Amino acid sequence: MTKSPSGWIHVGKLLADGANVSSKSASPGSTNSRARVDPELFPPELVVEVKALACELPAKLNLPLSRLSVADVTHYVRGSGLVASISESTIWRWLDEDAIRPWQHRCWIFPRDSHFAFKAGRLLDLYERLWEGHPLKSDEFVLSADEKTSIQARARCHVSLPPQPGSPMKVEHEYKRCGAWAYLAALDVHRMKLFGRCELKTGMAPFDRLVAQVMGQPPYSEARRVFWIVDNGSSHRGQAARKRLQEKYPRLVLVHGPVHASWLNQIEIYFSIVQRKVLTPNDFVCLHAVEERLLAFQERYESIAKPFEWKFTRRDLAALLDRIAAKAA
């Protein structure tokens, strides 16, 4: 090995798996081309440099790509003069050691709420039955509420076929639209009590009907305080919604989470379960059938479920915000 200004260049001739001729001759019994490359064949500095390249955005490398593949990284390494020749399988093994997968991506929203930590912290406290540093009383309750919009009723053009040995359930691709519901739901996070209703559209009036459905029955009608955790949707946004609801229900405390933080709202966990267990695949003969199944599942789930084991704490929140701040810097 000799070091060039741009990195390391292997002097000997390399074979397809990254080993050189002399190493192949020294071990004639070795025929597995996917065997791990001897670390001595490439210096650690080269491995680190290749991993660093794989962690760069393609634009930083002046490549007209949206994401990097193993082949892209290999081609760039060969063309940059880091090494004379190297195989894709070798680079794949190096990246796999640290679970580096530049060909994957996921969407991400950086917090833009200037009071993110404060608002998120209040929600986390409520999940631990705390409010402003004081434990909640036994007659104080915490509900998480939101709307799941545009739940369509898709009537398939052919009846669905049940699964058979060696064959999954078959659902016709073509369908007729039969309308859509908005599913409004509230979850008592400590009692796993569910309340829900289907409305043709969202808005203040439909949300107020959900609130009345909950607050009109015990123990909430007699509670000391009932905390409602909501997002910043137009149905219950800001101080105006807080004032509107507290005028009707003086014991109700509306608590808004930060913008773009629906993952802190436990009702979203329930909505994800509904999506998997009730709405996928979407095969309903009419709009009424959607409502019927949603409410029946709500009753069934409430009878067998336990409160979600929420483990994300204020300490986890602080650590997360520190990591995000480091990435945004």
Assign residue 300 the CATH number of its domain: 3.30.420.10
CA 275 to each of CA 125, 147, 192, 230: distance values in angstroms, whole numbers, following the listed order? 28, 13, 18, 20
Residue 14 gets which letter from DSSP?
Answer: B
109-167, pLDDT tens digit by residue? 888 888 999 999 999 999 999 999 999 999 999 999 999 999 999 999 999 999 999 99
C-alpha count within 13 angstroms, C-beta hemisphere, residue 126: 27
Same domain, 134 and 265: yes
Same domain, 293 and 155: yes
User: Can you tell me which residue has the tokens 């990246």?
Assistant: 95
Look at residue 103 and tell me if it is in a domain.
Answer: no
Range of the domain at 273: 116-327
Look at residue 105 and tell me if it is in a domain.
Answer: no
User: Quick check: 5 pLDDT over 50?
Assistant: no
312-329, pLDDT tens digit by residue? 999 999 999 999 888 777
Question: What pLDDT does 326 receive?
Answer: 86
- Which has the closest alpha carbon to 233: 204, 208, 209? 204
Full-model pTM: 0.78
Same domain, 282 and 134: yes
Question: What pLDDT does 302 receive?
Answer: 95
Q: Is 241 strand, coil or helix?
A: helix
Mean pLDDT lowest among 30-39, 193-202, 295-304: 30-39
- Which has the closest alpha carbon to 255: 306, 189, 322, 173? 189
Same domain, 53 and 123: no
Look at residue 108 and tell me if it is in a domain.
Answer: no
**Contact criterion met (CB below 8 Å) for 175 and 156:** yes
Strands 2-4 and 7-9: antiparallel
Question: What pLDDT does 84 receive?
Answer: 86
Same domain, 195 and 89: no
User: Can you tell me which residue has the tokens 């063309």?
Assistant: 79
Share in percent of the chain as helix, strand, coil (round to 5): 40, 20, 40
Same domain, 180 and 233: yes
Same domain, 311 and 185: yes
Cα separation, 275 vs 284, whole angstroms: 14
Rg (CA), the chain: 28
Q: Supply the mean pLDDT for the chain.
A: 89
Percent of the chain with pLDDT over 90: 80
Total domains present in the chain: 2
Looking at 50, 69, 97, which one is the last position of a domain? Answer: 97
pLDDT tier at 29, thresholds 50, 70, 90: very low
Q: What is the mean pLDDT of residues 5-13?
A: 42
Question: What pLDDT does 28 receive?
Answer: 41
239-252, pLDDT tens digit by residue? 999 999 999 999 99
**Contact criterion met (CB below 8 Å) for 130 and 190:** no
Percent of the chain with pLDDT over 70: 88
62-116, pLDDT tens digit by residue? 999 999 999 999 999 999 988 888 999 999 999 999 999 999 999 888 888 889 9
For residue 61, what are its two tokens? 């490398």
Same domain, 174 and 247: yes
For residue 156, what are its two tokens? 């398939």
Q: How many CB atoms lie within 10 A of CB 76?
A: 20
Looking at 97, 128, 151, which one is the last position of a domain? Answer: 97
C-alpha count within 13 angstroms, C-beta hemisphere, residue 221: 6
Question: What pLDDT does 112 receive?
Answer: 84
User: Quick check: 33 pLDDT over 90?
Assistant: no
Question: What pLDDT does 40 receive?
Answer: 54
Cα separation, 202 vs 112, whole angstroms: 26
Same domain, 54 and 137: no
